[in-house]
Structure 1
Amino acid sequence: MSEIFVSPERPVAAPALLRLNPDLDRARLSAQFAAHGHVRVEQLFASDAMAAAVRDELEARGDWVQVINSGDKIYELSREVRSQMSFDRLRALDDAVMLGARDGFQHRYESIRLCDDPSVTPPADNVADALTRWMSSKEMLDFVRRVTGHPEIDFADAQATSYAPGDFLTGHDDQVPGKSRHAAYVLGVTQGWRIEWGGLLMFHDRHASAFHGVAPGFNTLDLFQVPSVHSVSLVSPAADRRRLSVTGWLRSRG
């Protein structure tokens, strides 16, 4: 994921649809975050058309890479590379991923690194990169600072994520020394998802015996405290679409 610092003072070029819903109840959302360490913001954008534009672009893009870890090592496989792998090799890779998930940290999903460098102006038709720059705009930073109670947040980084059947992310807390992460976010652009299809964002309790989960959403923003143990449950083979979102961390420079 990109580590480029973004200045909230720099103007963010974004489509006209990049506007927060003016009816969001900041006080209520802030109280929920303070009480639970996480909150779902429904109807984030003033218009569903913005979420639809992000979804349509992500569905059409071909630069997705599958991200798999083996312990601390990260491997990225393009769709082209995977299309050239034999059945036996793909099966062996799948077995290794499932073995890693038995008693350790493991993940498999697709990702696109999105540009959050304020000195780079994305093409007019590049909605996803415009969105990531807007995430560090004054409008958005003021909103997330209020909701999370972290006035020290300076910028957001971002990646697009896509979970297909068989993809998942096991429990972790997002805390990495030196990264200055105060909260994490998941901006959902998935419509018509059934809970039975999995792909749930799950927040674990301290005893790992219970959880609170939310299904993939559309025009939603899930915010949660760092550190907090969370995971994404396995996507079912029954799912007829991918779980699409833009995710990242809300960070400070210090």
Structure 2
Amino acid sequence: MIASPVAHDPASEIFSLNPDLDVPALAKAYARDGRIEIRDLLSAGGADRLRSHLLDRRDWTIVMNAGDRVWEMAEPALAELTGDQRRTLDDKLYRSAGRGFQYRFRTIRIDDDRARRGGSLLDRFADFMNGAAMLDLLNRVTDTDIDFVDAQATRYEQGDFLTAHDDAVEGKHRHAAYVFGLSPDWRPEAGGLLLFHGDDGQIDGGFTPAFGALRLFRVPTLHSVSFVSPIASSGRLSITGWLRRTAGQD
């Protein structure tokens, strides 16, 4: 059972919602399109502090898959590979990506249970996402009745990607997905774009990484994150996750 929000939320002392958000307009756009961008989600300062915190973290894990199996590697271990080993790994990933579902990116996971989290700024942002004010906003915008939000920090470096999938996983009770962007001044040609796929196999819109913007979209929605190009001068940094219902509450 996920710990419910408490009356006093210490995360609100660091993170707070932008009071100028036009919630009815956002809800109308989400109902029409099934996805929405909420620019400047937070009041000033919170996103800057969170980005700085994540750039200082040294506990990133590289995740990739081989079919249904998930492989994890501590980030320093990648630097220890020889040039030939790195090329072999890249070749296997890219060949697999040409045939089906494949990904590679960096992550710092956050426990779903608030009681088991630590006190880092990342943990406090997860607490904020599960606070009463944020849950109310998300439910009003998406016209759902979710009761918790899961979260992980993600970082896509040069050569990282995520091929097309729809986020629908049995038993996860996901109603919508989100990406909270922490990448300022990102160039679209650097890749790392959140792309939506139409039924005809063509791209049906998308979002360039942006700083302080929350992107929401319905589950299931077929989408991908495009290959991060060698011209990217920094990693594509964000907090991602899903708006969910506790099992048995749907």
TM-score (norm 1): 0.93
Determine whether 1:65 maps to 2:53: no
Structure 2 distance, partners of 1:56, 1:77, is 23
Partner AA of 1:154 in structure 2: D
Deviation at 1:122, TM superposition (A): 3.2
Matching of residue 160 in structure 1 with residue 153 in structure 2 = yes
CA RMSD of aligned residues (A): 1.4
Q: Measure the CA separation in 2 of the matches of 1:243 and 1:23.
A: 27
* Cα distance, 1:80 vs structure 2: 2.1
Q: Which whole-Å deviations, capped at 9, do the CAs of 1:134-171 have from their partners, x for residues lacking one?
A: 111110000000001102x0100110000001111011
Aligned to 1:241: 234
Deviation, 1:251, is: 0.3
Match of 2:109 among 102, 106, 113: 113
Which position in structure 2 is the counterpart of 1:189?
182
Q: Secondary structure at the match of 2:115?
A: coil
Separation of aligned partners in 1, 2:151 and 2:203? 29
**What is the deviation of 1:92?**
0.8
**Residue 173 of structure 1: how far off its partner (Å):** 0.3
> Corresponding residue for 1:170?
163
SS at match of 1:221: strand
Q: Show the counterpart of 2:219.
A: 226
CA contact (8 A) 1:185 1:221 kept: yes
Alignment partner of 2:11: what SS? coil
Tell me, yes or no, if the aligned pair for 1:199 and 1:234 is still in contact at 8 Å.
Answer: yes
Q: Percent identity?
A: 43
Q: Distance in 2 between matches of 1:6 and 1:248?
A: 17
Q: Are 1:42 and 2:32 matched, yes or no? A: no
Q: So what's the TM-score if we normalise by structure 2?
A: 0.95
**CA deviations over 1:179-204 (Å, ceiling 9, x no partner):** 10000110111111111111111111
Unaligned stretches of 5+ in structure 1? Answer: none
**Does 2:77 align with 1:81?**
yes
CA contact (8 A) 1:189 1:218 kept: yes
Contact between 1:44 and 1:221, CA under 8 Å: does it hold in 2? yes
Deviation at 1:17, TM superposition (A): 3.1
Give the gaps of 5 or more residues in structure 2. none
For the pair 1:55 / 2:51, whether they are aligned, the reply is yes
* Residue of structure 2 equivalent to 1:129: 123
1:100 aligns with 2:96: yes
Aligned counterparts of 1:76 and 1:11: Cα–Cα separation in 2: 36
> Is residue 188–residue 220 contact of structure 1 (8 Å, CA) maintained in 2?
yes
Change in Cα spacing, 1:12 to 1:208, as seen in structure 2 (3 Å) is farther
- For 1:194 and 1:52, the matched residues in 2 are separated by 19
Partner of 1:202, secondary structure, is strand
Match of 1:147 in 2: 141
Mapped contact 2:12–2:128 kept (Cα < 8 A): no
Would you say the 8 A contact 1:115–1:132 is kept in 2? no
How far apart are residue 133 of structure 1 and its match? 1.1
Q: Which amino acid aligns with 1:163?
A: Y
Tell me how far apart the structure 1 counterparts of residues 10 and 158 of structure 2 sit (CA, whole Å). 35
Query: Which residue of 2 is the match for residue 214 of structure 1?
Result: 207
Offset at residue 216 of structure 1 (A): 0.4
Q: Which moved more, 1:53-62 or 1:114-123?
A: 114-123
Contact (CA 8 Å) 1:6, 1:118: kept in 2 or not? yes
